[in-house]
Amino acid sequence: MTTHLRTLAPVLAVLFLAAGAQRSDAQIINEIKAHIDHSFVIGDKTLPPGDYMFRMTADPAQSIMIATNQHGTNVAEFLVRQSIADHRPSHSELVFHKYGDAEFLSKVFQSGSKNGVSVMETSKQEARLASQDQQPFEHTEEQK
């Protein structure tokens, strides 16, 4: 039995290290500064154009992103899940779904990483538009 444990210990250590490396890479680590020149919706909040900061909560076990305005006021907290981009962005990116004049934040990616987050909670307004068979136009805005 002791021989099996000695043989299994390095394998388990590698598995745990690999799982930990995936977890830390799966989230947005740094704050993302964004200038958004149009109003947009997160959840059921419509936010005006302006400068915003997007960051994950301090607890890595939680999947909550916080958006604050240029005054540092918390304007939105929303649930997110991991999303993987089809490319590695050289700048941070915000992805929006646009229906007519209404834009809904959909995904956030940090520069240099294919791993980002997507908004889990669809707003009532976006759900209504989608149920009317309206197709969103998806567009990405690079942040420098």
Task: Give tens-digit pLDDT for 39-65.
Answer: 999 988 999 999 999 999 887 667 899
pLDDT, one tens digit per residue, over 89-123 is 999 999 999 998 899 999 999 999 999 999 998 88
pTM: 0.77
* Percentage, residues of the chain above pLDDT 90: 47
Sequence spans of domains, the chain: 2-143
Residues 62-69, mean pLDDT to the nearest whole number: 90
DSSP string, 30-97: S-EEEEE-S-EEETTEEE-SEEEEEEE-S-TTS-EEEEEETT--EEEEEEEEEEE-SS--SSEEEEEE
